[in-house]
Amino acid sequence: MKSLAIEREFGSGGREVGMKVAELAGIPYYDSALMVKAAETKGISVGMLEEYDEKRSGSFLYDIAAYTSYAQGNSKNSVYELFSGMQKTIEKLAAEGPAVFIGRCSTEILKEKRNVLRVFIYSSETGKRIRRTMETEHVSEAEAKRLIDKKDKQRRNYFRFWTRKEWGDRGNYDLELNTSSLSTEECARILLSAMEK
């Protein structure tokens, strides 16, 4: 069985699909827990990782400062230590056996592995994303719209910063699933079938 690496739009239900696949296949599931593992590997506090994620909201000046520091040979730059720790953690966990990885550029980190299915999960109906976000995050419609815009921007910029690729570009993935027309269960079944080939 292959591992599964997922990138997903906020409010698309991608996390739920990944969890369902892991449950049905009886394999490990990794999302924010990767932050903890990366922190342990590199000796970086979890609080700092969370702070970094908040800063990575698309600040062009922050990107320039971080990249300039790295380009000048500052390999101890904590931003790059974080990604290096994340990359090593994902690679190590994938080598241990089939697993589900959510976000953190796992689709790109594992792209050279033949035993990994790389997937992008989206929803073509904004209304469904808004309703799902209202339910899962317990927020108003206006707040749900704001969250969707903010989170998608963060994910897009994070992916572009580390991979120099576009987050939603279908060329980055083996498969795309639209949760506007497919249920969580249907998506999970499709992915399980593809993982077993």
* Better-scored residue on pLDDT, 35 or 116: 116
For residue 45, what are its two tokens?
């506090």
* pLDDT confidence of residue 57: 46
Min mean pLDDT across 51-60, 78-87, 100-109 is at: 51-60
In the 3-class helix/strand/coil scheme, how is 54-90 assigned residue by residue? HHCCCCHHHHHHHHHHHHCCCCCCHHHHHHHHHHHHH
* pLDDT confidence of residue 53: 57
Q: Which of left, alpha, beta for 176 (phi over 0: left; psi -120 to 50: alpha)?
A: beta
What is d(CA 99, CA 87) in angstroms, rounded to the nearest whole number?
15
For residues 133-153, give the mean pLDDT: 96
